[in-house]
Amino acid sequence: MKKYLFLILTAFTLNVSAQELQAVADSVDRNMSLIREKQDELMTYVRAQELTPERRAVADSISRTYMQLYYETTDYLKQQLESHHESPECASLINKYQRLLGLDYLEEYMGTYPHAGLPELEELRQQIAINQKLKPGSELIDFEMPDEVGVKHRLSEYIGHGRYVLVDFWASWCGPCIQELPNVVAAYERFHERGFDIVGLSFDTNRQSWLKAVAKHSMTWTQLSDLKGWESLAAKTYNVRAIPFTILFDPNGKIVDCNFRGEALSRKLEELLGN
């Protein structure tokens, strides 16, 4: 009788957990829809005209609005995963929102999640294994990709030859990428002569849009793309789940750090190459 009662209570608990987590997913989906609307608004705005200081201030305001909602949504999702940590139903949320949660967080979460061995989480376990290779001090993961005229190049042609190299994952359709480009361009112009290079890896699917953005935003460094969007070899090799994303390599081809935003890249280069 006690065993029977335990089974009933267990089934009831799992059912409640599933309902609660579905409500979490519904809430996250609503917020992500709002975030995408703001991202589209930003993309339309930055494409319309040249970003004067006044227009850049407006773009920054749009960006702050959706980034605040993005971080609030991410924090909310993480809180719910922590409070339902014992539930196997968390696996569906983990899979659905991998890009939102980020592999660094998921690596930590999976380390203590009692259902981490579920078959549906196999792909995530593989992605975490690759993410571990993106830690500072890790070696370059090499691959080959075409340039603007279709000639294929390996990343190792540019990395590990005595210069600091930023690998910049971006796309012409990505509003946050375009907004971030002035910081990247400024770092390149300031530090290129002192030993700094950039390799751009575009997630575009339209060749004309890609090359037009390269010219418009003065991206005078090496550009590579297989024009496959999120199915790009670059995305798969480095498990890139959101752009812009960057990896800085040292002169020996080892990772210094990842995901520089704003002034962070210039500050790091000042530290490495001097003012």
Q: Are 217 and 198 in contact (CB under 8 A)?
A: no
Place of tokens 């998921």: 106
Mark 80-119 as b/e (b = at least 16 C-beta within 10 Å): bbeebeebebbbbbbeebbebbbbeebbebbeebebbebe
Question: For the sheet containing 222-224, what is the strand order?
Answer: 222-224, 196-202, 164-170, 245-249, 255-258
Place of tokens 């979460």: 109
Q: Which of 97, 99, 128 is nearest to 111 (CA)?
A: 128
Which of 80-84, 105-109, 154-158, 236-240 reaches the highest mean pLDDT? Answer: 154-158
User: What is the structure's pLDDT at 2?
Assistant: 43
In this model, does residue 227 exceed pLDDT 70?
yes
Q: How many CB atoms sit inside 10 A of residue 184's CB?
A: 23
User: What is the structure's pLDDT at 135?
Assistant: 87
Place of tokens 């960006």: 63
Measured on CA atoms in the order 179, 185, 190, 191, is the torsion positive or negative?
positive
Question: Which tokens hold the place of 271?
Answer: 């530290």
User: What is the structure's pLDDT at 6?
Assistant: 41
Q: How many CB atoms sit inside 10 A of residue 218's CB?
A: 12
Distance CA 87, CA 118 (A): 12
Distance CA 184, CA 233 (A): 23
Q: What is the pLDDT of residues 173-223, one digit of tens each?
A: 998 898 899 999 999 999 999 999 999 999 999 999 999 999 999 899 999
User: What is the structure's pLDDT at 1?
Assistant: 46
Helix 103-110 vs helix 122-131: crossing angle, to nearest 10:
120
User: What is the structure's pLDDT at 183?
Assistant: 92
Question: Which tokens hold the place of 106?
Answer: 């998921």
Mean pLDDT of the chain: 87
Q: Kindly report, as residue ranges, where domains of CATH 3.40.30.10 are found in the chain.
A: 144-273
Q: How far is CA 57 from CA 111, 230, 262, in A?
A: 42, 30, 14
Quickly state the pLDDT bin for 275 (edges 50, 70, 90). confident
Q: Interior CA angle at 244 toward 239 and 246, to 5°?
A: 70
Whether cis (ω within 30° of 0) applies to the bond prior to 244 is yes
Q: How many CB atoms sit inside 10 A of residue 65's CB?
A: 15
Q: What is the pTM of this model?
A: 0.64
Answer with the residue of higher pLDDT: 93 or 43. 93
User: CATH: 3.50.50.60, 3.40.190.10, 3.40.30.10, 3.30.565.10. Which one for 144-273?
Assistant: 3.40.30.10
**Phi, psi (degrees; rounded to nearest 5) at 204:** -75, 160
Longest dimension (CA), the chain: 79
Distance CA 59, CA 43 (A): 9
